[in-house]
Amino acid sequence: MQNYPTKANLILHFLSGSKRYFALSMLFAGLVSLLDMVNPKIISYTVDSVIGTKPSALPGSVEKLIDGIGGTSALRAHPIWIAAAVLSIGVLAALCRYVFRTMNTRGAETFVRKMRDDLFAHIMYLPYTWHSENSTGDIIQRCTSDVNTIKRFISEQLVQLFRTVIMIVLALIFMGRIHFRVMLGSALMIPVIVIYSLIFHVKIGTAFEKVDVEEGVLSSIVQENLTGVRVVRAFGRELYERGRFEKQNTYYTSFWIRLMTITSMYWSVADILTGLQILFIMLFGSVACIHGTLTVGGFIAMTSYNMMLIWPVRQLGRVISEMSKAGISIERLRYIMNSEVETDPKAAWEPPMNRDITFENVTYAYANASSPVLKDVSLTIPAGSTFGILGGTGSGKSTLMYLLDHLYDLGPDGGKITVGGVDIANIKKDYLRRNIGMVLQEPFLFSRTLSENIGITGHEKNMDEIRRAAKIASIDDAIESFTSGYDTFVGERGVTLSGGQKQRTAIAQMLISKPPIMIFDDSLSAVDAETDMKIRHAIQENTGSSTVILIAHRITTLMNADHIIVLDKGRIREQGTHEELLAKNGLYRRIYDLQTAGIDESEADI
């Protein structure tokens, strides 16, 4: 399914909400350009009809206005009226410019917010498999620098293109109305300069890409040197590293200098071309004046209009060459926006969750794996019971739980998982996950305060509940020992918690929402045996009627469970109660003996 079949579809989608700002901004940009055309007119009128004595060629309405204040003679006596006219046009233009710029930013910011929000929300709802298949750095890159490229494309480059074209067209029209042939002298230079600057900017662009590549190489030499500082020192290879760096540094610099040379060439030649354009107007204008087809004021106006053209014309090439980059960025965002989000089937509902959980012939293989991680697993977890899963690294015990939480989809032949007889495929995912509390082995804490982390599932934070949950998880004391207590910030800008502290914070986070199904995925592994026991007792007292699933390495963690399975390489090897399993004298028994009694030295010498 593709939501956005083309790039334009996606851009139009992101533009919803900001279009009116951009429309207003364009309108006012046009007004600014129009007002900019007025001053040369005033000047030429002043020179010709106020200072000089030529009859004015002004539109009738303006003529009436001048007659109102006493005609040209009054202006001659009081040139302050002309100043006032220039100033009021200046004020009007300033106002329009202000509106244009603020509207443009409003549009740009609304647009970029929409992009960011939509991307973030879309990413949040993408299935977990998508997250594991795509590299984090790449996605973040798309969400930041590609978003900025597109923002610049819409709010700077497109707008500038529009303004430039308007400016050029208006200036040429005004010039043409004064003296058509002189105007042509200027107009003929425009395509020359635009094509010239376009060619150069394409060249500059490719030179820049090369610089970028070499910079990347240099940058990774530094990166490798810094991360491998131990290897460099231990092998005594400082001199070699220095040589490697200096060589690339010189190489990289030479590309920059090449780029600089091209740019300098571009600027100098463009300056000369512009200078020639000015010269043409001066020469043609003089000739026209002498022939009497152009007034002095008209000449001054022509030169002013010509000056207005210079910058926009030179920008045009740059804007056009930069605009081509945006396409790639849009494509990169389209990839994200077109990835399919998790959805619930129409029939999905919210059945009661305090019911028996069953796995029926569950088989599951990861996308790139050669053999399945779970093979034909069938089991029943009675509602309200405590269920233990013992398994080694790679036995598939975590996958079993991710499947229950519907983080992964069971294939068509993958069997079935039900809660109270309802296939979890028909339970709303959000509802399912909120009712299954799972503490991961390596919990992820958000860069927020500890109380916000613990209370993250609640809509409003209730300090009493947070404290209670923290006490059960035996993290209360540790939190209180921080200077800011529950307001301590976690993560990059705050304290670093130990593995055990993280696990206990995650347990508190889960306990607070009192879900009917609780999963502890080896979540006490980083906690010492004594605290482990303390937490287990506290949890047992507080879980009430919840179904508890314990996954552990330590037998003491799950020996009191009502039922225990031993999972090995994706299959159930043994199951029963602790006593039954001991009596079986199998794997469980051997691990139990090892953990309780230890090994004697003879056996230990493997």
Partner 1 sequence: MNEEKQASLPLFGIPRLFPYLKPYRVKIICMILLGAISSGMDAAYPLFNRYTLNHFIGGQTLAGIGPFTCLYVSLLIFQGLINYVSSVECGKVEMSVDKDLRNDAFNHLQTLSFSYFNRNSVGYIHARVMSDTGLIGEVISWRMMNLVWNGAYVIGVLVVMLIIDVRLAALICLLVPVAVIFMMYFQRMLLDYNRKIREVNSKITGNYNEGITGAQTIKVLGVEEKMIGDFKQETTNMRRISIREAHYSALFISTMTMMSAMVLALVLWQGGRLTVEGLMQIGTLAVFMSYALEMLDPIQSIIETLSGFISIQANIERVVKLLAEESDVADSPEVVEKYGDSFHPKKENWEELIGDIEFRDVSFRYPDGDEYVLENFNLKVPHGTNVAIVGETGAGKSTLVNLVCRFFEPTKGQLLIDGRDARERSQLWLHSNIGYVLQSPHLFSGTVRENLRYGKPDATDDEIMKALRIVSAESVLARMEKGLDTDIGEGGSILSTGEKQLLSFARAILADPKILVLDEATSSIDTVTEKAIQNAIDVVIRGRTSFVIAHRLSTIVDADVILVVKGGKIISRGTHAELMRERGYYYELYTRQYEELLWGAAE
Q: How far is CA 570 from CA 253, 379, 580, in A?
A: 56, 13, 22
Positions in 191-250 near partner 1 (CB under 8 A): 215, 218-220, 222-242, 245-246, 249-250
Q: How far apart are CA 580 and CA 589, in angstroms?
A: 10
Give me 359's structure tokens: 């796995």
Residue 93 contacts partner 1 per CB under 8 A: yes
Minimum separation from the CB atom of position 595 to partner 1 (A) = 7
Indicate the Cα dihedral angle 382, 388, 392, 394, nearest 10°. Answer: 30
Q: Which of 2, 6, 206, 261 lies at the binding interface for partner 1 (CB under 8 A)?
A: 261
Minimum separation from the CB atom of position 373 to partner 1 (A) = 14
Task: Give which of 347, 311, 500 is closest to 424, Cα–Cα.
Answer: 347
Which of 60/596 has CB closer to partner 1? 596
Residue 143 contacts partner 1 per CB under 8 A: yes
Residue 507 contacts partner 1 per CB under 8 A: no
Minimum separation from the CB atom of position 321 to partner 1 (A) = 20
Task: Give which of 286, 310, 283 is closest to 298, Cα–Cα.
Answer: 286
Residue 368 contacts partner 1 per CB under 8 A: no
Minimum separation from the CB atom of position 72 to partner 1 (A) = 11
Minimum separation from the CB atom of position 105 to partner 1 (A) = 3
Which of 2/141 has CB closer to partner 1? 141
- Listed ranges 111-119, 177-185, 317-325, 350-358: which one lies at the site for partner 1 (CB under 8 A): 111-119
Task: Give which of 414, 426, 429 is closest to 342, Cα–Cα.
Answer: 429
Positions in 12-51 near partner 1 (CB under 8 A): 39, 42-43, 46-47, 50-51
Minimum separation from the CB atom of position 307 to partner 1 (A) = 7
Q: Do residues 499 and 471 touch, judged by C-beta distance below 8 A?
A: no
Task: Give which of 446, 487, 447, 444 is closest to 463, Cα–Cα.
Answer: 487
Residue 269 contacts partner 1 per CB under 8 A: yes
Residue 169 contacts partner 1 per CB under 8 A: no
Task: Give which of 224, 572, 163, 593 is closest to 381, Cα–Cα.
Answer: 572
Per this entry, what is the length of the chain? 606
Which of 60/597 has CB closer to partner 1? 597
Minimum separation from the CB atom of position 349 to partner 1 (A) = 16
Q: Do residues 308 and 174 touch, judged by C-beta distance below 8 A?
A: no
Positions in 393-422 near partner 1 (CB under 8 A): 393-395, 405, 407
Q: Using CB atoms within 10 A of its CB, is residue 416 exposed (0-12), middle (13-18) or buried (19+)?
A: middle
Minimum separation from the CB atom of position 87 to partner 1 (A) = 4
Q: Label residue 59 left, alpha or beta by phi (over 0 means left) and psi (-120 to 50 means alpha).
A: beta
Q: How far apart are CA 297 and CA 39, in angstroms?
A: 12
Positions in 541-600 near partner 1 (CB under 8 A): 553, 568, 573, 587, 590-591, 594-595, 598-599
Residue 312 contacts partner 1 per CB under 8 A: no
Give me 247's structure tokens: 């060589």
- Listed ranges 185-193, 346-354, 371-379, 431-439: which one lies at the site for partner 1 (CB under 8 A): 431-439
Q: How far is CA 449 from CA 76, 238, 453, in A?
A: 74, 43, 6
Q: How far apart are CA 373 and CA 396, in angstroms?
A: 6
Q: How far apart are CA 154 and CA 168, in angstroms?
A: 20
Q: Which of 190, 296, 383, 533 lies at the binding interface for partner 1 (CB under 8 A)?
A: 296
Which of 60/226 has CB closer to partner 1? 226
Residue 53 contacts partner 1 per CB under 8 A: no
Task: Give which of 565, 230, 231, 586 is closest to 385, Cα–Cα.
Answer: 565
Minimum separation from the CB atom of position 222 to partner 1 (A) = 5
Q: How many residues bind partner 1 (CB under 8 A)?
A: 143
Which of 6/457 has CB closer to partner 1? 457
